[in-house]
Amino acid sequence: MVTDPSAPSLDDVLEAYAATDVDVWFPTRTRVAGSAARRDLPTRVVVITAWNPKSRPTDEATNRQANADLAAVLLAMGATVLPARGTAADGGWSEDSFAVPLDGGRPSLHTLLAVGRAFGQHAVYVIDDDHLDIVACAGGSSHRLPRVR
């Protein structure tokens, strides 16, 4: 695999990932990570997006199309796909995303990491009642944080 030396690494953007507030619609909007996050979750979820591949700002039309393509891939795998959004704690940016519950085991976290990699993402969030794990799409290394700030 050829890497782009000008693209930021996960280490370069980890602070931004860690400072992101994440909302999932279960079906109503629920803050699942970040400031004022709900304490109990109905299920363990993976939050994934196709926005801004390689952490490079991309125009909205391209991001929306990439996310539509991602949704189609997830649905074709038989995943339950819930709307989600990651937002900078300071409100400076947001990315439309999807939450995929892991309670049924399909698709697996391993498969979702491969999908994230295919869509140019550094990492996905794995969120349960206690923790927020930022899991690298390439290599699967994980950074565990408290879910509620």
Divide the 149 residues of the chain into consecutive groups of 10 and give the mean pLDDT of each group: 55 80 83 71 88 93 98 95 92 93 85 97 90 88 77
pTM of the predicted model as reported, rounded to 2 decimal places: 0.86
Rounded Cα distance, 134 and 3, in Å: 21
| pLDDT value for 2 | 36
CA distances from 114 to 27, 51, 62, 124 (A): 27, 16, 21, 10
**Which residue's structure tokens are 């927020």?**
132
What is the model's pLDDT at position 17?
83
The predicted pLDDT at position 83 comes to: 95
Structure tokens belonging to residue 85 = 């959004």
Rounded-to-integer distance, Cα 95 and Cα 67, Å: 10
| Residue 1: per-residue pLDDT | 34
- pLDDT (0 to 100) of residue 6: 58
What pLDDT, on the 0 to 100 scale, is given for residue 11? 73
